[in-house]
Structure 1
Amino acid sequence: MGIIGDIFGFIATPLYYAISAVLIAWHKLLSAIGLDPNGGAVWILSIVGLTLVIRAALIPLFVKQIKSSRNMQLIQPKVKELQKKYGHDRERLAQETMKLYKESGTNPFASCLPILLQMPIFFTLFHLLNEAAKDGTPHGLLTEDLAQNFGQSELFGTLPISNTFINSGGHVGVMVLAAILVVAMTATTFLTQRQLMSKNMPADALSGPYAQQQKLLLYVLPVVFAVGGIAFPIGVLFYWTTSNLWTMGQQFYVIRNNPAPGTPAFAAKQERDKARAERKGGTVETTVVEADPEPTTERRPTQRQQPRKQTRQQRRSSGGQGPARGKTEGGKQK
């Protein structure tokens, strides 16, 4: 465990400083607006603030994940063609599939990147809170007093935020709150993945290796969080639940406003755009009619075509003209 501990310490040291800096900043800000600096509420809200800062910093990665996920969906027909062509040769199929991924700029594991990058932060926060709760051990920018305050703070004055479901100290309130947070964390994980598969994946992408990967994430991740969540401190559960809620909202916005072609979300957006265009078109048309009901050219009187001048002989051969014209020309009717 010595080598593993050294490796973890090497990776976690810069994270300790980053996480503790954000926590302290939020703690000072919330304390300045009137929250009890020694209460658990201020630390829980500081953890929520930490989550928001981390997720905001990961937005570029989320955009990359969305683009890669969309590319995976769009190239599924080509993947199926490769499967039909090289299905008998697994090695060649793998080579051609990876070549296709490279040409299309697609990373099949991009959907896992936000979770993978958050895991070190997650475990660092877990260790930071756990060590502070045990003996007030400070890490990063936390002083000994702040570490002790952080580790021993209680939500609502009775629920220690460092306690877990399985280590509640016999406190029923801790167990109830931890259970609620575990269920919320598990449900938001499942619904986020379900939302992606049901609304932003075309029908032809619901089969094949990529679909299998998505289905695996759909059912495995919630189980992992449900099993592991009972050992997470309340403060850490607040972090992960807040992060999942952020992911749900962020993904909902992207799917609604920029869905992948050929998906139910894309069809729904086309319907909304069509309805919006019809509403705008009706308003514009009404305005045009009221301002200018008919084009100017249509309101002008029809101009009479002037007859050509004819000689007297031509007029006689044509059978003559009306009485008025005859009088004009000869002074009497012809």
Structure 2
Amino acid sequence: MPVVDAVLSAFSTLVHPLQLLVAWLLAGFHHLGAAAGLDPAGGPAWALAIVGLVVVVRLALVPLVVVQVRALRGVQAIQPELRRLRDRYVGRTDAASRQALQREQAELMRTSGANPLLGCLPALVQAPVLFALFATVQGLSRHEPVGALTGALVRQADAATVLGAPLSGVLWGSGHGPTIAVTAAMIVLMGLTQLVTQRITATRNTSPASLEGNPLARQQQTVLLWVLPVLVAVPGLHVPVGVLLYWLTSTVWSLGQQLVVLRVLPNPGSAADRARTERLARRAARG
């Protein structure tokens, strides 16, 4: 479709500077792997480069993650007030009442500092990085140099394999046994990691007060718990092995990050918050 192609072309032009940065980081970590004794033409050196890219990107996102966690805490904290506010307008369907409810909800959000949109920041920022990596890995099979990834490095990367699967290989329509096995395994691992992360969030980091009398919130939890892993897995059928490795590593990072959040910044009233309070009390008693 001409319109879609034009949009993708425009987006590719916008993320080209980011693609140059991705290429520079990949080349840099690849050189580190080679200096450490890994075969420069082997899969482990390039896998290390992709994992290194994940670490750099996710460390850069830590400040945004802190903003995200605090924003989501604020949203959960005001759920009882939002519920009482909506209860006041139950049965009032006229335009004036709807507008008044929207104004009061917006004012409550503003005064409390809660902003659900901030919860999407890390994912939105990371999306162009994924696209830049996708374009870079996709260009390997065409031997297209990008910035620090010279023609020689691109040919090396194209010949490199992860457990027998080339970095530019994809599951859908591949017909190549190792590629199918490796990509399928990574997709399953991503889905399971997502499921565990969402399960931990739902059971350990959700305040009962935010769910009480709020069937929509419970429904959203169920959707996130079971549907999100599927939505993550489906695009993986068409994603190169190198990008899947980035995605899987980033998903594992998210699980570890959530475990840290549970200990450091749990939602007030959640099971994790109670565990943190008890932990601090025991530490104070010993001190």
Q: Mapping of 1:181-260 within 5 angstroms?
A: 181-206=186-211, 207=214, 212-260=219-267
Q: Mapping of 1:46-61 within 5 angstroms?
A: 46-61=49-64
- State the alpha-carbon separation in 2 of the partners of residues 181 and 90 from structure 1: 47
Amino acid of the residue matched to residue 28 of structure 1? H
RMSD: 1.9
Amino acid of the residue matched to residue 30 of structure 1? G
- State the alpha-carbon separation in 2 of the partners of residues 96 and 62 from structure 1: 28
- Cα distance change of structure 1 residues 126 and 167 upon mapping to structure 2, 3 Å threshold: farther
Q: Name the larger-Rg structure.
A: 1
- Cα distance change of structure 1 residues 227 and 234 upon mapping to structure 2, 3 Å threshold: same
Amino acid of the residue matched to residue 128 of structure 1? T
Residue of 101, 113, 124 corresponding to 2:109:
101
The share of aligned pairs that are identical, in percent, is: 38
- State the alpha-carbon separation in 1 of the partners of residues 40 and 150 from structure 2: 14
**SS where residue 177 of structure 1 aligns?**
helix
Alignment check: 8 A CA contact 1:161 1:235 kept: yes
**1:160 paired residue number:** 166
Say whether residues 1:28 and 2:31 are aligned partners: yes
Q: Could you give the per-residue CA deviations for residues 190-229 of structure 1, whole angstroms, max 9, x where no partner exists? A: 2222222211111121236555545443333211111111
Say whether residues 1:173 and 2:181 are aligned partners: no
Alignment check: 8 A CA contact 1:130 1:151 kept: no
**1:262 paired residue number:** 269
**SS where residue 267 of structure 2 aligns?**
coil
Amino acid of the residue matched to residue 183 of structure 2? A
Q: What's the CA shift for 1:151?
A: 2.4
Q: What's the CA shift for 1:258?
A: 2.8
- State the alpha-carbon separation in 2 of the partners of residues 272 and 194 from structure 1: 22
Say whether residues 1:142 and 2:141 are aligned partners: no
Alignment check: 8 A CA contact 2:170 2:240 kept: yes
- State the alpha-carbon separation in 2 of the partners of residues 227 and 11 from structure 1: 26
- State the alpha-carbon separation in 1 of the partners of residues 152 and 70 from structure 2: 46
Amino acid of the residue matched to residue 120 of structure 2? C
TM-score relative to the length of structure 2: 0.89
- State the alpha-carbon separation in 2 of the partners of residues 199 and 101 from structure 1: 24
Between 1 and 2, higher relative CO (CA 8 Å, sep ≥ 6) is seen in 2
- State the alpha-carbon separation in 2 of the partners of residues 61 and 67 from structure 1: 10
Alignment check: 8 A CA contact 2:26 2:50 kept: yes
Residue of 16, 21, 35 corresponding to 1:18:
21
Amino acid of the residue matched to residue 268 of structure 1? A
Q: Could you give the per-residue CA deviations for residues 61-113 of structure 1, whole angstroms, max 9, x where no partner exists? A: 00000000110111111111111112334333222212211111111122222
- State the alpha-carbon separation in 2 of the partners of residues 270 and 5 from structure 1: 49
Gaps of 5+ in 2: none
TM-score relative to the length of structure 1: 0.77
Residue of 120, 131, 134 corresponding to 2:128:
120
Gaps of 5+ in 1: 282-334
**1:292 paired residue number:** none
- State the alpha-carbon separation in 2 of the partners of residues 95 and 137 from structure 1: 53
- State the alpha-carbon separation in 2 of the partners of residues 167 and 127 from structure 1: 19
**SS where residue 146 of structure 2 aligns?**
coil
- Cα distance change of structure 1 residues 3 and 159 upon mapping to structure 2, 3 Å threshold: closer
- Cα distance change of structure 1 residues 54 and 233 upon mapping to structure 2, 3 Å threshold: same
Alignment check: 8 A CA contact 1:86 1:92 kept: no
Alignment check: 8 A CA contact 2:194 2:229 kept: yes
- State the alpha-carbon separation in 2 of the partners of residues 269 and 106 from structure 1: 23
- State the alpha-carbon separation in 1 of the partners of residues 185 and 162 from structure 2: 15
